[in-house]
Each structure stands twice: as structure tokens, then as C-alpha cells.
Amino acid sequence: MNHHLFGEFTSIPSKQWKNKIQYELNGANYNETLVWESLEGIKVRPFYSADESQPLPIATQNTQWRIVHTIYIQDIAKSISNAKTALQKGSEVIYFTLATADLDVIPLFDALPREVTYFLRASFLDQVYMERVAQWAIQHQYTLHLLVDPIYQLVTDGNWFHNINQDFAIVHALTHQYATVNLTIDTKAYQQAGATIVQQVAYACNHFNEYLSRVTTQGQPIFVEVAMGSNYFFEIAKLKALRLLFDLIAQEYQAPQGVVRIISLPTKRNKTLYGASINALRTTTECMSAILGGADFVGNLPYDALYRKENYASQQIARNQLLTLKKDSDFQAVDNLTAGAYYIEELTKQIAEKALEIIKQIEKADGLITSFHEGTIQRKIEEAAAKEQQLFQTQKEILVGTNLQANPNEKIQAQLELFPFVKQKPRKTLIAPIIEKRLAESYEQHRLTEENN
């Protein structure tokens, strides 16, 4: 069988294509008319070709991605029931979030199947508690990953769990002794606070570098949690750029290649209260970007997650979106799905190059933690968020159903079960924390006020 389907056609150089396009523009400026610039400063051309692109050494295992279901543990019995239902309905991995050490999670895992992969992310750093869970998991042969990320705690809360020395001492002790305890780099806050894609990649890499320079592990996987936005091709390239730069950093520390595992979840930044059903369309493309970009674990966000408590109906819709992508759309058919896509390859290269510039600047300034203490990163994210907010206000960034084609008769007040806006409690902190904020918040607050009048 001849696989060279277009071998009989002569290749047309990109310069010839550009000349033809320039002719068709009837004198209009090519760069001004057809080349646009993203928030990241990346200039996007109208076409890309093989003679201007070089393959990047990034291998993605698209055949291996798994569907993740997230559960916030409040009641052990309900969490067991929720996890069993999710597994029966097609989820493959369960990601638990635990807020307090007052709950004993061992009975939870003991009631669930041993052959499933589990994540446990605690909102505290208690060495005794985690050692007990890790020992139990090893003894009973459970695939349980205890995720620890004290830098995320500092970034989002403004304070360490305890203090910098104690936090890193605990993390070092846990990861050095237990293979089931994994360093985690949670980058979701950067995206959900308004950082550009280039900033997200750069800060993730500096985050990674801080851990490799401070913590010794047994070579177990390091997990990166990523929030996926709606800029479809850019988000694919974001994950590929992350892998490329993470491998380069790992080489410097003689860490194993491919040590990073990516956990993706759709962002909350572009989600809305009004026209909430459209959130399901947004999350579908965001999950597609995650899969094509090479995420290892892909979770979804129910369309009503902003304002309703966990409920079976919306969770099932979210899970079915992933099942459709995996089972019916063949998004797991082959590895390296985007290899050879010139546009994505070029985006990946530019994102990585621009991120590398930021990485070097931060490392020259003594690293990520120091930059947060000096407020440099917070200011950069605020500037990027302000630019995006302005685009939203002027309808240059569209959220259908919110700042375009909104339904003026829609009422949402009676359906609110959760507070959907930024919560801030003024208190003393070591650094100014990163505050996650959705684009539509001020618009929605205004509409809710009108509902009440």
C-alpha cells in the first residue's frame, strides 16, 4: 500500500504561497491584514508549511490518557458511594480532595476497588497523617498518589502550611521515604487569575525548578495540574511546551526523562452563571485541547459547578463528554496526534522560547519564591488579567450568552447553591496571594442586583 498519497504533486514553497496571497490582497499590507498577535505577543500567520517548520522532540502518549472524576471529601459514606458510581459509569481514576485531618480516609479507600488509581490532595501538610495513609496504601497494594505542593499553598493562601523550612523538610522526608507521595506542581491558579499562556508555562517551570533544587525523591512521577483555557490550538501547544521545557530542566538535575505526568481540568475563568449550558461546549473543546496536547489524566468540570453543589445529573453529563471523546471520537486511537501539524509545532516553539526568557529572568532574581515575595509575579499576572478583562468589556473576547447574545429574561438567583464570586478575607500574609477571578464576575453581579430589584 502506498502511504505517500500526495507524492505525485510538486511541493510549493512557502514563499510562493505568500507571493500569491500578497497578489490576491490587491495591495493591502500582508502583515496588517492577515497576521494577528495574541496576548502572549505571538504573531499568528495565515498559513504554515513544512519548509518553515522543524519537528520538536516531544512524544505524547495519547493512547494512554484516562478519565478522572474529582470528589471533595466531606462525608466518607457519600464519597464512597460517589466514587463507586463514577467508576461504574466509566471514570477510570478518582481524584479526592481532603480539607481536614479530622477525617480518616483509610476506611474510604478500603471500601473501593484496589485496581483503580487514586489521587489524594490534602489542604494541609501533616507528616504523621500522610505517613499513616502512605504506609496503609503500600501494605494493601493500592495505587494511591498523595499529592503535596507547599508552593501552591503559599501562592494561593499567602502563607506556608507551617513555614518554608518545615514545609520542605516534611515534603523531603515524605517523598524520600514513600514512593506513593508525589511532588505536585499545581498551575491552575496562574491561569484562573488571568496569566497568559506563556506566563503559565514559565511559572510552572520555575515551580518545577524550585522543587528539584530543594527536594530529593525516589524518582517517582511528578504531577503537574493544569487548567485548560478555550484558545484551542494555543492550549494544545501549551502542554507540549510544558513537556519540552520540563524535560530540559530535568536533564540539568539528572532526573529521569518523562518524569512528569499532566492532570488537566477545564478552567473556571471563562465559565458563566448566565447561559450556563454553554459551559458544556467550552469544557468540551478544553478537554480536547488537553487530550491532543498529551495530558495523562483528563478531568471535566460540570456545567453548573460554579453555583450548584455536586449533583448526579451534571456530573454524568461531564463524564459523558469525556466518554464520547474517548470511545466514540477515537481521541485515544494513536500516539502523537499533533505531530507534524506545522501550526501547533510553531506555536509550541514560540511559547517555549518566550517562556524560557521569563524563566531566566525569575531565576536571575533568585527564583520563584523570591519573586513572589517581591510581588513581581503578582504584578505581571494582574497586568495580563487587566488586558484580557478589557478585551471582554469591549467584546473583543466573547463569551456567548454573557457579553454577546445574552438572554435578558434569564433568572439565576433562585438556583444559587454556592457563592460564585471571589472571596477575600483581609488578613496578614507573607505575600500577596494570587486571586482567581472569572471574566464575567462584574457583569453577573450587576445582573443579579437587577434581579433582586
- Give the domains, in start order, of the chain with CATH numbers: 66-343 (3.20.20.240)
What is the spatial distance between Cα 292 and Cα 77, in angstroms, rounded to a whole number? 36
Q: Cβ–Cβ contacts within 10 Å for residue 80, how many?
A: 18
* pLDDT the model gives residue 452: 78
* pLDDT the model gives residue 172: 95
The candidate with the shortest Cα–Cα distance to 442, out of 402, 400, 411, is 402
Contacts of 11 (CB under 8 A, 6+ apart): 50, 51
Strand partners, 43: 37
C-alpha cell at 381: 499576572
* pLDDT the model gives residue 1: 43
Asked if 208 contacts 168 with a C-beta cutoff of 8 angstroms, the reply is no
* pLDDT the model gives residue 380: 97
Give the position of cell 501547544: 237
Q: Which residues of the chain have pLDDT under 70?
A: 1-7
* pLDDT the model gives residue 10: 75
* pLDDT the model gives residue 23: 85
